[in-house]
Homo-oligomer: A and B are copies of this chain.
Amino acid sequence: MTMVAESTVDREFGVTAPAGFRAAGVAAGIKASRALDLALVVNDGPSDTAAAVFTRNQVKAAPVLWSQQVLAGRRLRAVVLNSGGANACTGPKGFQDTHATAEKVAAALGIGAIDVAVCSTGLIGELLPMDAVLCGVDAAASALDAGREAGLAAATAVMTTDTVPKQATLRHPDGWTVGGFAKGAGMIAPSMATMLAVLTTDALVDGATADAALREAVRTTFDRLDIDGSMSTNDTVLLLASGASGAQPEPAELTGALTAVCADLAAQLQADAEGVTKEINVTVRGAASEDDAVHAARTVARDSLVKTALFGSDPNWGRIAAAVGYSPARVDPDRLDIAINGVTLCRGGTFATDRSTVDLSGRTIEVVVDLGLGSGTATILTTDLSHGYVEENSAYSS
């Protein structure tokens, strides 16, 4: 796979960076706070190729059920997104509301409802205020613009407990560009999908290539972000390709660019997670397989005792050893090495270095576990479990 250096990703532009896209973000009145809460992204073509990855949660929100049908043809002209309500566990009425939203977008743009994906995020189990949503669609359609401010407004309108919008852009030397935004600060454990993210490109690409490239990019980026082990009912990643650049990249180049943009967006999600005080990267190497590496790293990343210890700047490697041991990965306790911020504290399953030599005062913590069994490697991005996380998730419904 052709990897593109992350240094070529910038965060100044998002979905409107590639040619052929317009966007808008408006305050529709879905949120009581009157903040921006409805976003629209439109692909003006000439191509309308699209791909998507959705949550594997068995309880799927109405907009996910709708968008899965829409994406079956791998074509999309527009996506409408709202914060302020997930429209999940809302029954047939919730699905009708999603359909009506797509119809409204279609009427405003002169396209078909089948060309419109819908994404929602917010509290589960409540109906959306449809008057506000439908008026918001008209306002957003009127505000559509190809400029930088419009892309930023769209990225801002999908925020829930996020404190900052997340955008990323990669401009390929061959004349095509990938842009995108993402949202999500809690209920993040995607497993084949992620929180809401919209990616755009002006590359010329067919549906099968777009689908394969997006799946591979998501597999190694958003899928390896795990804030709290809780998989959402609404996770959706969309890719819209306009073909407006006329450039037709090799599939591996497209995959590399998408991976770089997704990795950057995932890092931004990690940095802005609920209650985060430490950004923790758990790498497992030497696993019997890549799957084993993912399982072991994910188990460590989800362990409440590991996460609270690191919140307290305590290099408690015994809790990491225990978590590796109860993971589904194959483990030989006598070959287990554990390093934190470059100091090997456990070698061959027993203590190696005084843990007081590890400095955890910084914001980033690198945990490296070597299982000594093979060549499987994976990194899961997570955060600590802090008083801020408990406060944010106990004091407010979200």
Contacts and interface: CB of A to CB of B under 8 A. Distances in A.
Interface of A: 56-60, 86, 88-91, 94, 123-126, 186-187, 189, 191, 228-233, 302-305, 308-309, 311-312, 314, 316-319, 321-326, 331, 333, 336, 345-346, 348-351, 385-387, 389-391, 393-395, 397
B57 A318 contact: no
Contacts of A88: 318, 321-322
Contacts of A191: 326
24 contacts: A56-B326, A58-B325, A59-B349, A60-B333, A89-B336, A89-B350, A124-B322, A125-B317, A125-B318, A125-B345, A187-B322, A229-B302, A229-B303, A230-B319, A231-B326, A232-B322, A304-B393, A308-B389, A308-B394, A309-B394, A309-B397, A314-B394, A386-B390, A390-B390
A26 B231 CA distance: 47
CB-based closest 7 A-B pairs: A124-B318, A59-B325, A312-B394, A91-B350, A308-B393, A231-B326, A125-B318
A304 B231 CA distance: 11
Contacts of A390: 308, 311, 385-387, 389-390
A354 to B, nearest CB: 11
Contact of A230 (B314, B322, B395): B322
A349 B318 CA distance: 41
A110 to B, nearest CB: 34
A395 B312 contact: yes
Given A319-B124, A333-B58, A233 B311 contact: no
Contact of A89 (B304, B311, B312, B349): B349
